[in-house]
Chain A
């Protein structure tokens, strides 16, 4: 009797996997109605990954869109070795990481340009906000939670957005998506040992970043 729920859960999972593979086959054979089914199934999951990575709803929507286009374009190369969900999250994470890396490069270049520019010569100044700047401006809607918990959560989210994208990715996959190490390794294309090592560094870095924010907040309060 006790095994029954487990058994039915496995069966349910298998049925869902088979259904997903059927959708993949239909897309491959040119049935564009199947796109819609795939999008409905995965839009929340992929959007959640994007939102946690960039902390900007509009940008997250754009990235989700890009990820879906890449997924459907690349379905012919999906060989079924990994689960479809793992593969799709991998594509999505790559889209996010590429975006964040290019943003970082652009921000670095613009900082260098500002440093070279003579003082007082800048009129555009704060005009071109980068996505990274926008991340910190946009806050997620609060739910029915205590103020303290909400503040903690906000601080952790802000600290998360200051981490290196690779560290951010591993934390999001592990804590927000609840993926096991093996699946994270598949998504990120690294060994399980590397996942553990990266996760540990990410946790330590996040702790430092949260603490630094708390200290900075206290100093601001004192002033």
Chain B
């Protein structure tokens, strides 16, 4: 079966996605497309490797069916019988009609014993106290806070692997880094923030360590927030990091799709405010923007508009190693005089893959040298 593919040959040699190669191995790409794909790969031997993988697949498919040994049936039945007898009376024991449970005498003795009324009374008491407790606690549930970035740790959320197909949204150059830096008197020493200040996060209070950060990055649910004092240094930093001669294993790309930039831009909520009431009036309670209270509300909102403070959105392409992640944070903190925190996105965002031959053909290197890479959106905000 031939799958429809983009017929325009791409000049970039690294456009082979894992899915395309899988299709190729599975024979879902026409021979013409296969040669084109091989030519696009820009690497000799790719076609041969794929041919070997196809041969291995054929060998596995050809193994065919096997018949279970004749005694499997009897052995399983014997094991089931044994299990039923051993676990007789347990709640999850196998229901078995051939085994007769002699429960009657036990039930009779319990019913006629003097403890029965006491046990019933105790059960009733437990029920009543449980009900009272439930009534007392049900109205104390916390109200979820606003903000696009949720502290959701639900593992069942849809997950998109960083290595999945590229999002084909139009690219956008990151916002200019020409804003005049605002010097905050109590900016403190530049460094990596381990304890996240409330102003950094919309609804996240648990610090994310590097291990967790990598896990979230693999799922496409991590954002690195860089609150910088010296955003003028962004241009030189970008140039420096992207230079091939820099020798760094990671790269910072300013070509971020509009969809991605929008997904990671912080919502316009005031930060640095303590109580929930103050927190809510700028984002949720529109009425508080009118009337006498507005004299206080409007200037405060403008002052605390996080979206307007964003100086650039980037995509960091990093080997999935904690040491490299630490190096990235350290460099950003140092060059931009910034504080850095990780945020967890409530849902995975589609992240583009790196489009160079090296990253696309990682699997052609020996297995021991495989290094998984992750893409992390980096949002630089003016302090």
Q: Which residues in window 177-233 of B have CB below 8 A to A?
A: none
**Interface membership of B55, Cβ < 8 A:** yes
Are the C-beta atoms of A199 and B22 separated by less than 8 Å?
yes
Closest A-chain residue to B23, C-beta based?
Answer: A196
- Beyond A47-B72, A152-B55, A193-B161, whether A76 also contacts B363 by CB under 8 A is no
Closest A-chain residue to B159, C-beta based?
Answer: A191
Closest B-chain residue to A52, C-beta based?
Answer: B63
**Interface membership of A210, Cβ < 8 A:** yes
Interchain CA distance A194-B65 in the complex, whole Å: 27
Interchain CA distance A194-B59 in the complex, whole Å: 24
Q: Mark B99-136, 1 if CB is under 8 A from A, else 0.
A: 00000000000000000000000000000000000000
Interchain CA distance A66-B89 in the complex, whole Å: 21
Closest B-chain residue to A153, C-beta based?
Answer: B59
Interchain CA distance A76-B90 in the complex, whole Å: 14
Are the C-beta atoms of B18 and A43 separated by less than 8 Å?
no
Interchain CA distance A27-B76 in the complex, whole Å: 15
Are the C-beta atoms of B77 and A36 separated by less than 8 Å?
yes
Are the C-beta atoms of B18 and A196 separated by less than 8 Å?
yes
Q: Give the one of B53, B66, B159 with max A CB within 10 A.
A: B66
Q: Which residues in window 29-63 of A have CB below 8 A to B?
A: 29-32, 35-36, 39-40, 43-44, 46-48, 51-52, 57, 61
Interchain CA distance A42-B35 in the complex, whole Å: 43
Chain B residues lying within 8 Å of A178, measured Cβ to Cβ, are: 61
Q: How large is the interface on B (under 10, 10 to 19, 20 to 34, 35 or more residues)?
A: 35 or more
Closest A-chain residue to B366, C-beta based?
Answer: A208
Interchain CA distance A76-B93 in the complex, whole Å: 10
Are the C-beta atoms of A175 and B95 separated by less than 8 Å?
no
**Interface membership of A105, Cβ < 8 A:** no
- Beyond A65-B72, A193-B159, whether A30 also contacts B56 by CB under 8 A is no
Q: Mark B41-56, 1 if CB is under 8 A from A, else 0.
A: 0000000010011011
Are the C-beta atoms of B94 and A72 separated by less than 8 Å?
yes
Interchain CA distance A8-B145 in the complex, whole Å: 55
With beta carbons under 8 angstroms apart, the residue of B60, B71, B366 that contacts A171 is B60
Chain B residues lying within 8 Å of A200, measured Cβ to Cβ, are: 18-19, 21-22, 363
**Interface membership of B73, Cβ < 8 A:** yes
With beta carbons under 8 angstroms apart, the residue of A65, A196, A201 that contacts B363 is A201
With beta carbons under 8 angstroms apart, the residue of A32, A48, A208 that contacts B96 is A32
Are the C-beta atoms of A61 and B69 separated by less than 8 Å?
yes
Interchain CA distance A47-B70 in the complex, whole Å: 11
6 other A-B residue contacts (CB within 8 Å) besides A208-B366, A208-B367: A28-B95, A72-B80, A153-B63, A197-B164, A204-B363, A209-B367
| A residues at B contact (CB < 8 Å) | 27-32, 35-36, 39-40, 43-44, 46-48, 51-52, 57, 61, 64-66, 68-69, 72-73, 76, 140, 149, 152-153, 156-157, 159-160, 171-172, 175-176, 178, 191, 193-194, 196-197, 199-201, 203-211
26 contacts between A and B (CB under 8 A): A39-B72, A39-B73, A43-B68, A43-B72, A43-B73, A44-B68, A48-B66, A61-B75, A64-B72, A68-B76, A72-B80, A140-B66, A152-B55, A156-B56, A157-B63, A160-B60, A176-B61, A178-B61, A193-B159, A193-B160, A193-B164, A196-B19, A196-B164, A197-B18, A199-B22, A206-B56
